[in-house]
């Protein structure tokens, strides 16, 4: 009887899962609850509410500063909230939560050390537990193509070829 051989395991293919690069410890700080009737910024009330707030919940977190209300928010209001977040938050980004999380993911992809992938066969994992934005797949392709032997999408047992280095 012949032994069963796992050809995928022996192939030397590296699977890269973009879910591992999703930002961790992300919290949203929304200005909306600090507005009068959640629509109008009254400076005195706004300042008092920020002063009384327990900022420790954002300790060492990546914070997205936003306002989900359809209100006119002066620039200084974002600056004031930022000044309270600065001593406790790990990072602070102003923006819409989904777009900002995507930007954090793209930043993490940009920080990948390509030396680990030189002349390797790499599969970018698809169909994971968490939806990954298309921009991340484009970014990882752009990052790895110059160094890899081949780049594929999917699962090691069923891949879609994306790039293969030409041999001379």
Give the domain ranges of the chain: 7-22+101-164, 26-89
pLDDT value of residue 155: 83
* Count of other CB atoms within 10 angstroms of residue 6: 9
43-85 pLDDT, tens digit per residue, is 999 999 999 999 999 999 999 999 999 999 999 999 999 999 9
The pLDDT of residue 6 is 44
- Please give the model's pTM, rounded to 2 decimal places: 0.73
Distance in angstroms (rounded) separating the CA atoms of residues 148 and 150? 5
Q: Quick check: 7 pLDDT over 60?
A: no
Closest CA to 137 of 101, 162, 164: 162
pLDDT of res. 5: 45
């Amino acid at each position: 009887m012949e032994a069963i051989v796992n050809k995928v395991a022996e192939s030397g293919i590296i699977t890269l899962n973009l879910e591992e690069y999703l930002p961790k410890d992300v919290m949203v700080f929304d200005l909306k609850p600090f507005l009068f009737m959640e629509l109008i910024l009254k400076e005195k009330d706004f300042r008092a509410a920020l002063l009384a707030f327990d900022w420790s919940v954002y300790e060492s977190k990546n914070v997205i500063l936003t306002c989900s209300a359809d209100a006119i928010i002066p620039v200084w209001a974002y600056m004031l909230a930022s000044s309270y977040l600065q001593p406790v938050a790990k990072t602070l980004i102003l923006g819409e939560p989904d777009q900002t999380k995507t930007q954090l993911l793209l930043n993490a992809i940009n920080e990948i050390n390509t030396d680990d992938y030189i002349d390797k066969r790499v599969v970018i994992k698809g169909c994971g537990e968490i939806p990954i934005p298309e921009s991340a797949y484009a970014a990882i392709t752009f990052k790895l193509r110059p160094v890899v032997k081949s780049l594929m999408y999917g699962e090691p047992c069923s891949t879609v070829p994306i790039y293969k280095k030409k041999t001379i």
